[in-house]
Structure 1
Amino acid sequence: MKENRFKRAIAEGRPQIGIWSMMREPMVTEMLGQLGYDWILLDCEHTPNDEPGVMAMLQALSACDIEPMVRPSCLNVAEIKRLLDVGARNILVPYVQTVEEAELAAAAVAYPPEGIRGVSSVSRATGFGAEPGYFTKAREEICLIVQIETREALDRLEEIAAVPGIDGLFIGPADLAASLGHPGNPKHPEVHAAITDGIARIRAAGKPSGFLSPDQALLEDVVKAGCTFTAVDIDLPLLRRGALARLEACKHFKG
């Protein structure tokens, strides 16, 4: 089996820079995969992406020097199973708030007797049956990240981090801001403090931490706090900003 370089890197504390993808277009995914980022997040929570679409994007990335991560729509065992079977190896589970939810996420990515992942011997993940040792080795190369994005999750952060099978924790700034009473304002001082404190607590718990923001100043602060894998922008707003900038630069053509 191919080694999961992303999982090894964050376990060893080596910083990894990522890009967040919301666009359901394999050619765009392939282009992003060629830019030099360490990892890319394929999002199914806030997009129309589904398992066939994710598989197409994973296929587009197969020749790229990048590690894909996939976020399911929610903590859905059946959806996670299908994403794993089409070839996802890095899973980011959103909105995990309790130890019990973290335990369910861990069970979803492991085969029995340790977990509850369904067994298919001919999935894309197994090389369509060409990888006979997959069932005993798969969990070693699967990386499970859970998202901490509510006040309740922050209160239980150390307990969640201690759950066996959790390979890292990710602070979600947008939902956290809403949970703290500041929807749409992740730059609020209370939210900023909660983010950097959460990152430091994850590091103190001995686990890698992740974060997403296009705000360079905030990124600098979370990296100083100990963030290991950082997504520095999102493809859709990147496209929008670029298109708007070009429009503004050329409006004088109209006189």
Structure 2
Amino acid sequence: MAEKVRLNKVIDLLQRGQPVFSYGTVMNGNFDELMAISRADYDMAIIETEHQGFDFSTLRNSLQYLVNRKRIAEKGNLQPDVVPFVRVPPYTREYGHNQWVIKQTLDLGPYGLVLPHLDSVEGAQAAVRAARYPQLPGVADAAPEGQRGWWSSLAPHYWGLDAQEYHDAADVWPLDPDGELLLMGIVENVRGIDNLRDILRQVKGLGAVWAGPGDLSVSMGKRGNSAHPEVEEALLNILAICKEFDVPCAVGLSPNADVEKRLEQGFRIIMVPPARSLDSLSRGRQAAGRSG
């Protein structure tokens, strides 16, 4: 019998100890760019709705432009080559009142969410609860209680599954080892760094952490200077905490950044410059032994 292939390529790579190369963020509704990304060698792309473009109808179309039927046919399974994630607008601490944003975003079919300003245990738990369906009583991963509402229309169709298959697959990894949804929180303020150990110790539904220098630099009084040495030190502190809990850590690159250095430091998700400037992507894949 053929080995079962994960639907979420990002989780598949992380489980096999391979680095993940992401486009970073592409604006919701930038269909030409999304179509170009679907033909590139990225492993994932993050559709941006935090700072602009928060419109569900546009997001539904954006997700379609990342579908590359030729690559799916050549691969012979349902795993997309470029996995769609969405960065949602609310800060993580707001999900006690904004579960509907996670619900309606996931109902369109992305395989993961990026959660801004991960800075509290309570906010992280609320995000996990909002992203998962209620579990059967007594199962090993029943907690935290899932609160995602059931709608069987768009997401199963986008994944190529029937409704029950989607229900079983669409749980958060690694809380559910077989789950195909990945939640990545952005640590981008000092409070988030201070609370990160508690978050990772108590919340098992986070699949990755993004060390975000932009807002972090503002939080540290550096006024957007993400290249400041103290900001770099803070990023490496986030990385060290993630390593302590064996949680993949993501980092973004500037066009001239040393991608090999970031891989050597232990970052497992690398966000490289846009598709029209592929040097960091190609060098990163070569450094990771994935140039084929």
TM-score with structure 2 length normalisation? 0.75
Whether 1:210 and 2:250 are equivalent positions in the alignment is yes
Separation of aligned partners in 2, 1:10 and 1:43: 23
Q: 1:5: which partner in 2?
A: 9
Q: 1:85: which partner in 2?
A: 107
Gaps of 5+ in 1: 239-255
Q: 1:127: which partner in 2?
A: 157
Whether 1:116 and 2:147 are equivalent positions in the alignment is yes
Q: 1:160: which partner in 2?
A: 199
* C-alpha displacement of 1:132: 2.5
- Answer yes or no: is the 8 Å Cα contact 2:133–2:150 preserved in 1: yes
Q: 1:10 to 1:67 in 2, by over 3 A?
A: same
CA deviation vs aligned residue, 1:30-89 (integer Å, no higher than 9, x gap): 112211111111011112242222211111112162111110011431111111101111
* C-alpha displacement of 1:108: 1.2
Separation of aligned partners in 2, 1:221 and 1:158: 25
- In percent, how many aligned pairs have the same letter? 28
Q: 2:216: which partner in 1?
A: 176
Q: What SS does the aligned partner of 2:163 have?
A: coil
- Answer yes or no: is the 8 Å Cα contact 2:250–2:269 preserved in 1: yes
* C-alpha displacement of 1:233: 2.1
Amino acid of the structure 2 residue aligned with 1:89: Y
* C-alpha displacement of 1:215: 4.8
Separation of aligned partners in 2, 1:61 and 1:172: 25
Gaps of 5+ in 2: 72-80, 93-97, 136-144, 172-178, 278-292
Q: 1:173 to 1:235 in 2, by over 3 A?
A: farther
**CA RMSD after TM alignment:** 2.2
- Answer yes or no: is the 8 Å Cα contact 1:24–1:49 preserved in 2: no
- Answer yes or no: is the 8 Å Cα contact 2:60–2:108 preserved in 1: yes
Separation of aligned partners in 1, 2:15 and 2:210: 14
Structure 1 residue ranges, 4+ long, deviating more than 4 angstroms after superposition = 218-221
Q: 2:83: which partner in 1?
A: 67
- Structure with the higher fraction of residues in helix conformation: 1
Q: What SS does the aligned partner of 1:233 have?
A: coil
- Which has the bigger relative contact order, CA under 8 A and spacing at least 6? 1
- Aligned counterpart in structure 1 of residue 31 of structure 2, from 14, 26, 29: 26
- Answer yes or no: is the 8 Å Cα contact 2:28–2:49 preserved in 1: no
Q: 1:8 to 1:220 in 2, by over 3 A?
A: same
* C-alpha displacement of 1:235: 6.9
Separation of aligned partners in 1, 2:274 and 2:190: 25
How many residues align? The count is 236
Whether 1:145 and 2:184 are equivalent positions in the alignment is yes
CA deviation vs aligned residue, 1:201-244 (integer Å, no higher than 9, x gap): 212211011112325436544333211111112579x7xxxxxx
Q: What SS does the aligned partner of 2:273 have?
A: strand
Q: 1:47: which partner in 2?
A: 52
- Answer yes or no: is the 8 Å Cα contact 2:6–2:12 preserved in 1: no
TM-score with structure 1 length normalisation? 0.85
Q: For residues 193-232 of structure 1, what are the structure 2 equivalents within 5 Å?
A: 193-217=233-257, 219-232=259-272
